[in-house]
Amino acid sequence: MLEKASTQSGVAGALRLKGQDIPTRTVDVDQRKLQFYVDNPRIYSLVRAEGKVPDQEEIWKQLLGHQHVQELIHDIRSNGGLIDPVVVRDGDFVVFEGNSRLAAYRFLASKDPIAWAKIRCTILPSGIDEKLIFALLGQYHVKGKKDWAPYEKAGFLYRRQKEHGVDLSTVALDLGIPNADAKHLTAVYKFMMDHDDRDRDHWSYYDQYLRSSRIKKAREEFANLDDFIVGEIKKGAMPKALEFRDRLPIICTGPKKNLKRYIDGKVKFEDAYENAVDAGTENSALKKLKRFREWVVLNDTEDDLLDSNKVIRDKMVYELKEIEKRSKKLKMLLEDRKNELGQE
């Protein structure tokens, strides 16, 4: 029985976690005794979207629906078993590392109970500290294989800080990620939790929303922008994440009247974007003119022109005369267009 795993034949070993050597034993265990770990970050993000604790059957069915588990089924069948054992706590049979592998293995056992009756497990002591479990998960998935999605990684960091009281900088150091990245990940995750959105597929939107400095300025000025954007994301009214990333900052830095009309629901996302572009936010010709004007008015520009030798000065005089003539012509054309549209 697994309760006596420490006395069974197997391969003895140890895991080094947080400066401690944790004794282990690797043995074959009846797969029916194992339990999915409901607080595993991947499971947490997949099956706890509604805030309820799922049962073991729900977890298994949810995991089976994901591509990576289907790929594991093929790999495990082809290999005739696991390459890496799942990591299990003695006593309650909870699988801390390898929940996707357990789901795949259990599917194979449902088709052939005899061939797939036992699964290779590395057994941890029954009394292992929960904080060491999170350290183990971090080593495997953040610092090691890095197979967690950003939402899962953020959830891991957030719960380590919030539920275990570990300083974020300490968690970031343990996992080998920059402190600034850890702060951003937890900020985005907290924003999602605060706005009651646990849909992992929405992560990219919120990640970009909180990353943009141009959007930040609009958030400071329009107190209802957050709630509006969250509502649009939840109901699927936003374009693809890449378009959202590229276009929302343009809307936010365009005319305030246009942004307010968008927030008030009077114009749709695409229309608000086009309005901002038409107003010059992303107009390339306007940008070039602004850059030229900003250069011309600098005191250093005047000094550079006057300090040039005679040959260069004569050439610059010619260029300025041509610019002056063409500028007058362009200005006149723009004013004529303005009059035609009745916008005087």
- As a whole number of angstroms, the distance between CA 284 and CA 275 comes to 15
Calculate the average pLDDT of the chain: 86
- As a whole number of angstroms, the distance between CA 93 and CA 37 comes to 9
CB atoms within 10 A of CB 342: 6
Can you give the pLDDT at residue 5? 40
pLDDT over 50 at 300, yes or no: yes
SS3 of the chain? CHHHHHHCCCEEEEEEECCEEEEEEEEEEEHHHCEECCCCHHHHHHHCCCCCCCCHHHHHHHHHCCHHHHHHHHHHHHHCCCCCCEEEECCCCEEEECHHHHHHHHHHHHHCCCCCCEEEEEEECCCCCHHHHHHHHHHHHCCCCCCCCHHHHHHHHHHHHHCCCCCHHHHHHHHCCCHHHHHHHHHHHHHHHHCCCCCHHHHHHHHHHHHCHHHHHHHHHCCCHHHHHHHHHHCCCCCCHHHHHHHHHHHHHCCHHHHHHHHCCCCCHHHHHHHHHHCCCCCHHHHHHHHHHHHHCCHHHHHHHHCCCHHHHHHHHHHHHHHHHHHHHHHHHHHHHHHHCCCC
- As a whole number of angstroms, the distance between CA 251 and CA 342 comes to 25
> Which residue's structure tokens are 């850890």?
182
**109-123, 150-164, 322-336: the lowest-pLDDT one:** 150-164
For residues 207-212, give the mean pLDDT.
Answer: 96
**Torsion sign (Cα): 281, 283, 288, 293:** negative
For residues 300-326, give the mean pLDDT.
Answer: 91
Can you give the pLDDT at residue 61? 87
pLDDT over 50 at 233, yes or no: yes
pLDDT single digits (tens) 242-275: 999 999 999 999 999 999 999 999 999 999 999 9
pLDDT over 70 at 223, yes or no: yes
Can you give the pLDDT at residue 156? 81
Show Cβ contacts of residue 285 under 8 Å, excluding neighbours closer than 6 positions.
none
pLDDT over 60 at 146, yes or no: no
Can you give the pLDDT at residue 3? 36
Strand partners, 87: 97, 122
Rg of the chain (C-alpha set): 30
